[in-house]
Amino acid sequence: MADSTAPSHTTRPLNVDTWDDFARLVEANNGVWGGCWCMGFHPEGVGKDRTASQNREAKLRHVRARTVQQVLVYEGDQCVGWCQYGPPAEVPNIKNPRAYNETLTAPPDWRIGCLFTDRRYRREGVARAALVAALAAIKEAGGGLVEAYPEQVEGREPQRGAYLHTGPESVFLELGFTRDRRIAKWRWVVQRRVQP
Ligand SMILES: CC(C)(COP(=O)(O)OP(=O)(O)OC[C@H]1O[C@@H](n2cnc3c(N)ncnc32)[C@H](O)[C@@H]1OP(=O)(O)O)[C@@H](O)C(=O)NCCC(=O)NCCS
């Protein structure tokens, strides 16, 4: 059943029932990044030689095996965006892994992978709604320490949307995340504890 997160947005989990909605959104956006099908953060990654249809099949396999956790955001009955999340084993491929691992003391319980909003619906709060719903799902699943690796936007030239696929840092800070440590010029590990 859909749950309300914002006046005009509803959210649903990505699963076999919502796969077609997700697929329509990805196909309307040329496979996203020319065919990644949101595979980048999964264990097998996008793969240099993998085709868009292979990535599509790989994503569908995760959906069928329930090894993906992803919130879809709807405007009416149209899926317009998502937020992928999961425990580190499901979301192992993060940005700047070397710097991250050098300063790692303990892994988080959860990671936010990537965010995406259809071009026609940007700056309408879709990513915010997706993240709010992902945090609610994490709470429902027992909570714990949530980490994300967003792009810093403050103090920087405006960035293209694609650059912000791990999310703009501002929306995480707005939702209670705080900076833990810097792992690249424009990237901090941000964390928030979610109570069960
Ligand atoms: C980054 C992205 C997810 C943001 O989605 P969105 O739905 O437009 O974001 P929201 O409207 O919820 O914005 C929430 C806040 O994030 C920040 N923000 C969003 N887009 C921003 C941008 N382009 N530059 C700076 N800050 C931005 C703002 O603080 C914004 O709040 P405000 O509008 O009240 O100022 C979207 O631009 C996108 O999908 N980009 C492509 C990412 C991609 O390629 N993903 C593929 C993953 S494999």
Average pLDDT of the segment spanning 71-80: 97
pLDDT of residue 160: 82
Length of the chain: 196
pLDDT at 1 over 90: no
Share of the chain above pLDDT 90, in %: 89
Best residue among 71, 126, 164, 190 to mutate for probing ligand 1's pocket (most ligand atoms within 8 Å of CB) is 164
pLDDT of residue 7: 56
In short, whether 38's Cβ falls inside 6 Å of ligand 1 is yes
Please tell me which residue, 92 or 161, carries the higher pLDDT value.
Answer: 92
- Distance from the alpha carbon of residue 170 to the mean position of ligand 1, in angstroms: 9
* Interacting residues of 15 by C-beta distance below 8 A, sequence separation 6+: 63, 66
* Interacting residues of 145 by C-beta distance below 8 A, sequence separation 6+: 108, 109, 110, 191, 192, 193, 194
pLDDT of residue 13: 98
Using CA positions, which residue lies closest to atom 33 of ligand 1?
A: 123
* Domains and their CATH numbers in the chain: 3-194 (3.40.630.30)
Average pLDDT of the segment spanning 7-28: 95
Taking all residues of the chain, what is their mean pLDDT, rounded to a whole number?
A: 94
Average pLDDT of the segment spanning 28-47: 93
pLDDT at 61 over 80: yes
pLDDT of residue 5: 52
The answer to whether 194 and 177 are in contact (CB under 8 A) is no
In short, whether 83's Cβ falls inside 6 Å of ligand 1 is no
Nearest to 10 by CA among 88, 115, 95, 125: 125
User: What is this structure's pTM?
Assistant: 0.94
pLDDT by residue (tens digit) across 125-172?
999 999 999 999 999 999 999 999 999 999 998 888 788 999 999 999
Average pLDDT of the segment spanning 95-120: 96
C-alpha torsion sign, points 55, 130, 188, 184: positive
pLDDT of residue 33: 87
- Distance from the alpha carbon of residue 45 to the mean position of ligand 1, in angstroms: 23
Q: State which amino acid sits at residue 40.
A: G
Nearest to 166 by CA among 107, 93, 60, 109: 93
